[in-house]
């Protein structure tokens, strides 16, 4: 991601949560979170672990099979499709 490496330590995990990608509504996208340490601050890196197959049919922007993971830059703009229902574990890390 173009950032200097940091020594691995559990303090790098800033939060985690189980998210359900919701359908686009009149108030915009909403994500339901169950977890610890989440706040409004944008993380450096988000690790997305699919809890079920994710794809554009259930609210994710690409195909990710259950158990697969994807690292995303916290500053990237991601357009989610206007569908919903997919579940993922998101881990916010400071790397």
Q: What is the pLDDT of residues 35-59, one digit of tens each?
A: 555 555 666 788 999 999 999 998 8
Q: Is the pLDDT of residue 28 over 80?
A: no
Say if 7 falls within a structural domain: no
Domain total in the chain: 1
Give the chain's mean pLDDT: 78
What residues make up the domain containing 35?
A: 14-93
Instruction: Summarize the confidence of residues 68-88 as an average pLDDT.
Output: 84
CA distance 21 to 83: 8
Say if 1 falls within a structural domain: no
Whether the predicted model's global pTM rises above the 0.85 cut: no
Say if 23 falls within a structural domain: yes
Q: Is the pLDDT of residue 19 over 70?
A: yes
Say if 5 falls within a structural domain: no
Say if 56 falls within a structural domain: yes
Say if 77 falls within a structural domain: yes
Say if 9 falls within a structural domain: no
Q: Is the pLDDT of residue 72 over 80?
A: yes
């Amino acid at each position: 991601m173009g950032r200097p490496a940091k020594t691995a330590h559990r303090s790098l995990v800033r939060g985690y949560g189980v998210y359900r990608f919701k359908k686009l509504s009149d108030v915009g996208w909403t994500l339901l979170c169950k977890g610890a340490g989440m706040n409004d601050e944008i993380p450096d890196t988000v690790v997305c672990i699919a809890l079920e197959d994710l794809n554009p049919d259930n609210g994710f922007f690409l195909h990710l099979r259950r158990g697969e993971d994807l690292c995303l830059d916290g500053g990237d703009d991601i357009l989610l499709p206007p569908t919903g229902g997919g579940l993922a574990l998101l881990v916010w890390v400071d790397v």
